[in-house]
Every structure is written in C-alpha cells, then in structure tokens.
C-alpha cells in the first residue's frame, strides 16, 4: 500500500486526491494538504505527551482541533484545554490562527481565547509546525510572558498572589463538551 500515497499527485484518477482537492481552492492547496497530512502522520506516529491535534470532524484538513493538558507544577495541572487551528491557504508560509476554545485564565490569553505569542505572529517561520506550536503553548502555560499581557489582572496576580490566581484559573475553567 505504500505506493498509493506517492501516486496521489500523479494519478489523474485517484479518488482520494481529488476528494481532498475538491474541498479547497487556490493554486497551492495541494501542497498545503500534503503538508498537513504529513504533519498529521508525524503527530500520530510520534506523539508528544500532553498535546494532540486532529482535523475537525467534517474531514476538512484546513481546520483542526487540538488538546493541551495543563503541565504539572503549574496552576493548570490536571486541566485540559481545547484549541482551534485555522490554516491559511499559504501555510506553512503564514502562521495558523490559534484560539483557545476552553475558557482560560492566563496573562497572555484574552477572554475570547486569543493568544499573544510571538511565534504565532511575527516570529513565525515555516519550520514551525503544529506540534511545536502546541508545545510552545504548553510551556506558555507554565511561564507566561508578563511583559506583554492581554489580561493585565492575570499578569498581576501571577506575580503577586499565586493562590488567588489558581482560584481564578479553576473558576474560569470549564470543560467544553461539544457534540
């Protein structure tokens, strides 16, 4: 079976290739698809602990859902967070749009889930991938960048009153269970 994957681009009648292509437009959509498919395979064959990601349920490769488990020794320990990834059509030359779907109390995340992280903005390079983004976000949970907070109160509490911070984190956290 290992040849059919290679044939997908060359074979005109390949059902899978055409199915995937039909979902998207644009000149480069096939390379994006291929890249995302490769990333998915990497994620599946060598998963990193505490993070996982998968394309959304409708089979559209351009939008994914990811899960991060709160690292131990942080206020987020034991909690899981869902994120949404939306990939631009020129991915990986532009960063994906990443949002926290689970409400989170964090200095660098605002209340609508937007994240302030340099590698998702100007520091993005094509060398990053979904897994690295997820791992960066996981470490961001333990080490917020309080210099440029989106949530000033959280940044303040992080520095001053860790117990209160933890309380706020637990108060804000809610497991979203979409059907």
Partner 1 sequence: MAITTTAARVRTRKQNVFRSVFPPDASQPAPLASAFAEAGEPIRSQGAPLPSASSSASSSSSRPRRHAAIHSAGSAHGSASATGRRTRGNQSTQQSSSPGVSDQVRWDRAWHVVTSRIQLPTSVAVEDSFGALVPESQDLDVTFYDSLALVLDPAALAPQAAHTEDILLWHSRQVRQHFLHQVLPLLAACTSSHQRGHSQVLLSIIGTLEAAHRQYLYGLMLIVRGFRDDTSAEAATAKFRRDVHAIVGNSWTPELIAVIRNVLHHSLRTILGSTSRDSGLGPGWSREADVSKARGELLGLLESLHQVGLGGDKFQVLFAEMMDACMLDFIQDSYSRVWKVSDGRRKSRAATGPLCLNHLCNWIENRYGRLAVEVLSRLGGQVAWSDVERWREVATGRLATLRMHELFDIVLHWPDSKGGLDDLAASVTTPQRRLQLTDAFSATLQARLLHPGRSTLDILQTYISMIRTFHALDHSKVLLDRVVPALKLCLWNRDDAIGIVVTGLLANPNTANAEDNDGKLVELAVILNETSQQHQGRVDEEDLGWNDMSWVPDPVDAGVNYKRPKNEDIIGTLISALGLQDVFIKEFQSIVAERLLSKQASFQQEIKVLGLLKKRFGEAALQNCDVMIRDIVDSKRVDTVLRRNLRNDGALEANSLSYHSKILSRLFWPSLPKDPFTVPLPVAQVQKKYEAGFEQLKSSRKLNWLDHLGSATVKLDLEDRSIDLECKTYEAAVIYEFHDGGDESGTSGPVQRSFNELWEKLMMDEDLLESALKFWVAQRVLRDVGNKTYVVLETLDSELGDKDVMEDQVATGGDTEKEQPSPKKPKNMGAKEREQRTMYWQFIVGMLTNSSPAMPLGQIAMMMKMLIADGCPWSNEELQEFLGEKITEGELELVGGKYRLVKK
Would you tell me which residues interact with partner 1 (CB under 8 A)?
Answer: 1-7, 11-16, 19-20, 37-38, 40-41, 43-45, 47, 52-57, 59, 61, 64-67, 82, 177-179
- Taking the C-alpha atoms of residue 54 and residue 69, their distance in angstroms, rounded to an integer, is 15
Minimum CB distance to partner 1 smaller for 159 or for 175: 175
114 is catalytic: no
CB of 47 to partner 1, least distance (A): 6
Joined tokens for residue 159: 């520095």
Point out the catalytic residue in the list 116, 117, 120, 140.
Answer: 116
Contact 22, 9 (CB under 8 A): no
What DSSP line would sit under 61-110, residue for residue? Answer: TTEEEEEEEPPTTSTTTT-EEEEEEE--TTTTSSPPEEEE-S---BTTB-
Q: Which residues are catalytic?
A: 116
């Amino acid at each position: 079976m290992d040849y059919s994957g290679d044939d997908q681009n060359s074979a005109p009648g390949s059902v899978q290739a055409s199915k995937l292509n039909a979902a998207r437009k644009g000149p480069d959509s096939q390379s994006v698809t291929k890249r995302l498919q490769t990333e998915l395979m990497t994620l599946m064959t060598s998963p990193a602990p505490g993070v996982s990601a998968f394309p959304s349920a409708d089979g559209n490769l351009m939008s994914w859902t990811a899960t991060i488990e709160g690292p131990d020794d942080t206020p987020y320990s034991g909690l899981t967070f869902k994120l949404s990834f939306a990939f631009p059509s020129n991915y990986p030359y532009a960063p994906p749009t990443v949002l926290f779907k689970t409400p989170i109390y964090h200095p660098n995340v605002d209340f609508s889930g937007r994240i302030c992280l340099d590698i998702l903005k100007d520091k993005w390079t094509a060398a990053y991938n979904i897994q690295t983004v997820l791992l960066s976000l996981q470490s961001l949970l333990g080490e917020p960048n309080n210099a440029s907070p989106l949530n000033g109160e959280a940044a303040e509490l992080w520095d001053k009153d860790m117990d209160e911070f933890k309380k706020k984190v637990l108060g804000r956290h809610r497991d979203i269970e979409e059907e």
